[in-house]
Each structure stands twice: as structure tokens, then as C-alpha cells.
Structure 1
Amino acid sequence: MVRIAAIASLIGLGSIGPAWAQDPPPSEPPVVIADLRIEPWHGAVFEQASRFQHPSWGERHAQRNLRTAMAIAQAEGLSVDYDVLTAAAYLHDWGGLEPYEVEGVPHQIRSVELAEPFLREAGFPMEKWPAVRDAILGHVPSGQPTTPEGIVLHDADLLDFMGAEGIARFLAAPSDQPTVDQGLSYIEDFGLTLGDRLITNEARRLAEPRLTYMSGFLEQLRSELPPGTQP
């Protein structure tokens, strides 16, 4: 059974109870969530995501994306559907992980192929599936999401490539055969280019110090190397 307190903690919203029916203090922006309900399918999604243990694209990445996406929605005043955002955040990289990936099929398309029958069987309200599909397909840097959920997930996913967290992810597992050189190349040639892909003002605000940190990291690394050596 899904524990409500655990889900509230997961998305960073504190406890769920009578306070949800109260107006927030005037000094704090509202958390804008449409249709917050805890259903059995949530448990199925969380259980499936617990199998995604990849160090860069696993369950922890999904958790961070959900929290960041919710924070962006709040800052932007966007009304988002918790069901849609949860399903998309936890399943968006499914198709890029072993043993689920298919050679030649972009991971976001493969994720959609896997997620639709899974969510249907789990009891997900499938009238919301088009929005989940939009968010999964649109989460990649070149994606063009059209829903509020897709927009905030897109920006949350890109932000997770930036800053100290982005560095950790790139160095942990940029490929099946990671090397330091490859990880650093991803940081410089990919991570530092993502700021222009962000959609929301809030994401761009959050990105600025992260990108500055990444640039500083590369400069510091180069300054520490003895002449003629590599990291």
C-alpha cells in the first residue's frame, strides 16, 4: 500500500491533511496541483521505478525531476496534474535502460511504448495518457512539450544535467564504458549548452549558478593538472 506521508515527502510538499483545504499564508506562493489523489497505481509506478538503478538515469533521477518540476510549476504559477507529472517523471527514461532499450529507437519513444500498457494495466486514468505521452516525448533537450506537465518536466530534466549534480551524473555513467575524458566532454560539450534549451523563466534562473559552477569546475580541474598531464 502506498503511504501518503511518503509520497508527500517525495514531492517535497510536507504532510497531506486538512491543511490542503486551507489557503496558504499570503507571503507564500501556492503549490498549484490539479487532482491530487493517492491511488493504487502510484504504488505500481514507484515499484517499477525502484528497478531503475542506473547511477545517472535511475530512480533517484526520477525523484529529483518530480520535485524540481513541482517547484518550477509553483514558481511559474502553472497548474499541473499530479497524476500526469508523477507517471511521466518516473517512467520517462524507462526505454533507455537495460534490458528495456531497443537499438535504433530513441529512448523517449521506447519509454512511451513501455509506459502505455503498463499504466493501463496498473489502473492509471487513461484519459490522462495523452498528457503523460506529451511529457515523456518532450522531456529531451530538443523536445517541444505542449502541456504544463511536459514543460516543467522538460526543464527539470535539463536542470538535472547542470551544476554539481550534473557533473556527478556525467562522471558516474555517461555510457556503458565510461571514462573521465568522456565524462568531461559531456560536461563541456553537452551540459554547458543546455541553458538555451530551457523554457521557463524559473528554470533559467536556477540554471545560471549551476552553469557557472560547471564552468568553474572545468577551469579548476585544468589549473590543478601538471603540464602535459590529463585527469
Structure 2
Amino acid sequence: MTQELGPLARELSFPYYEDALPAHDRFHAKRVRDVSIRLANECEGTVDRDVLSAAAWLHDIGRPRERRGEIEDHGEWAAAEASARLAAESVPSDRIEAIGHCLRSHSIRTSSPEPATLEAKLLFDADKLDAVGARGLVRLACIVGERSGRTGGKYAVIDDTSALEMEPSDGPDVSLLREWAKERLDALYTPPGRQLGTARWDFMEEFFVQFSAELGVEGNA
């Protein structure tokens, strides 16, 4: 291997993100990489930062394929794809295995395996933290947009439908953003991840207070 693992994974990952939508693009991967290293620096225990960085760059390379219905599990697919690409670059098998575990276990879906290594837990936490806070709110709104209007689905109403004097929508409303963020915060593994999550959640609470204050106008239309 002639290139450091993190930069190599970054280079390998970029072509896979060319068709990605904003919530799971290379910029998301960069944010996850940066936060995961930040958490590693604040975490007790030995962390293989090269493995962690590589896994962060590669964790969502299967998202475009999953969105198009070509694969069912982007984490499992990413692990297999990344393993082949890294092996071709003469990356040691133990590091490939460690990265593969991070990729398989980074998703919050119930079918994903539990993160068993510190690197996998840090990747999981960093990925979930990108759905909390100011950037997290924007990203969650992007995800709602991506999932709205699919075949058989309805567009989400990003409002507080309980406060509207009109027939409520049976689709998701703004409370979905709060639910998704809280679900991810409750799933965090590491102390520094939970600490950062609390700070970002405090901002989200302020946002939802302001959101409620801006609802409606006096008088009838």
C-alpha cells in the first residue's frame, strides 16, 4: 500500500457519490469523517483513526444504488464493494475487515448488526449526529424531500398540522424531524457522542420553539 488509508478511501469513494442526493453525498461523508475523528480525540480507549476515517468516507457509497432499488442494504453492499477495492490496493486484510464491520453496522435500521468495535461505534455516532443540530435539520428536511412523492407515497407537509385551522394532512409533518433526531440521539454509543448530541439537541429545541412562534397570523383569511 503506497497511500495512506484515509486519503485512499476518500479517492475511491468519490465516484460512488456522483449520483448521490444531498442528504447522503460526499459532503455528508466529509462531515461524518470530521465528527468521527473529533469524537475519537475525545474518547477514552485506543482508536484506529485510519480505519475510522476510511470507513467514514466509504459508509454511504451504496446509497445511490439503494435509492434506485438496485440493492437492499447499502451498508452490506458498501462493505463488499469496499473490501474488493481496498484489497486491490494491497490494504492489509485485518484493516479491510475492520472497515467492513464499520460499514455493515453504521445504519440505524434494525436489520443492521450492532457495532462491536470502538471505530464502528464512533462511525455510527458521527453519522447519527449529522441528523441533529442546525445542519441536521437541513439534512433531515432533505431526507423528507427525497422520500416524498415516491410511488404510492405522499408529499410531507412540513408544518404543525395540529395548529392549522384546516383539514390536517395524513402525511408526515414537522414533528417527524424531531422524532427522527431524537431516535438517533437515543441510539448513540459513546460518551463524547452523547455529549455533542445534547448540545445539538438544545439548539433543535430552540428551533422548534421559534418554529411554533412563527405559525399562523391573527384573523381569518
TM bin, normalised by shorter chain, reads 0.7 to 0.9
Q: 1:184 aligns with which of 168, 171, 174?
A: 174
> Are 1:158 and 2:158 an aligned pair?
no
CA distance in structure 1 between the partners assigned to 2:69 and 2:85 by the alignment = 17
Quick one: distance in 2 between partners of 1:65 and 1:183?
27
- Which one of 21, 34, 44 corresponds to residue 11 of structure 2? 44
Distance 1:222 1:122 in 2: 53
The aligned length equals 194
Q: Which moved more, 1:210-219 or 1:104-113?
A: 104-113
The answer for the alignment partner of 1:207 in structure 2 is 197
- Unmatched runs of 5 consecutive residues or more in structure 1: 5-36
* Structure with bigger RCO (C-alpha 8 Å, 6+ apart): 2
Q: CA deviation at 1:104?
A: 6.5
- The aligned residue for residue 31 of structure 2 is 64
Question: Partners of 2:14 and 2:182 in 1: how far apart?
Answer: 33
Q: Is the 8 A contact 1:151 1:199 kept in 2?
A: yes
Is 1:220 matched up with 2:187?
no
Q: RMSD value over aligned CA atoms? A: 2.9
Q: Is the 8 A contact 1:140 1:154 kept in 2?
A: yes
Aligned equivalent of 1:105: 72
From 180, 187, 197, the equivalent of 1:197 is 187
CA separation of 1:52/1:210 partners in 2, compared to 1, >3 Å: closer, same or farther?
farther
CA distances 1:169-199 after superposition (whole Å, capped 9, x unpaired): 0112432447453573441221122222111
**DSSP-derived class of the 2:62 partner:** helix
CA-to-aligned-CA distance 1:93-141 (integer Å, 9 cap, x gap): 1222247864562221222232222222233333212211111122123
How far apart in 1 are the matches of 2:26 and 2:119?
Answer: 19
Structure 2 residues not aligned, in runs of 5+: 149-154, 159-171
* Alpha-carbon distance between aligned partners in 1 of 2:139 and 2:11, rounded to the nearest angstrom: 26
Pairwise mapping of residues 112-123 of structure 1 onto structure 2 (< 5 A)? 112-123=79-90
Cα distance, 1:108–1:183 mapped onto 2, change above 3 Å: farther
* CA displacement, residues 127-158 of structure 1 (integer Å, 9 cap, x when unaligned): 21221111112212355211121111111111
Query: 2:179 is matched by which residue type in structure 1?
Result: D
Is the Cα contact below 8 Å between 1:95 and 1:101 reproduced in 2? no
Of 158-167 and 91-100, deviating more is: 91-100
User: Retained in 2: the 8 A contact 1:139–1:150?
Assistant: yes
Normalised to the residue count of structure 2, the TM-score between the two structures is 0.74
1:213 Cα deviation from its structure 2 partner: 1.6
Contact 2:75 2:104 in 1 (8 A): yes
Letter in 2 for 1:172: C
Opposite residue 163 of structure 1, the aligned amino acid is G
Give the deviation of 1:50 after TM superposition.
5.5
Q: State the distance in 1 between where 2:15 and 2:70 align.
A: 22
1:136 maps onto 2:98 in alignment: no
- Provide the rounded CA distance (Å) in 2 between the counterparts of 1:94 and 1:46: 6
SS at match of 1:80: coil
Partner of 1:85: 52
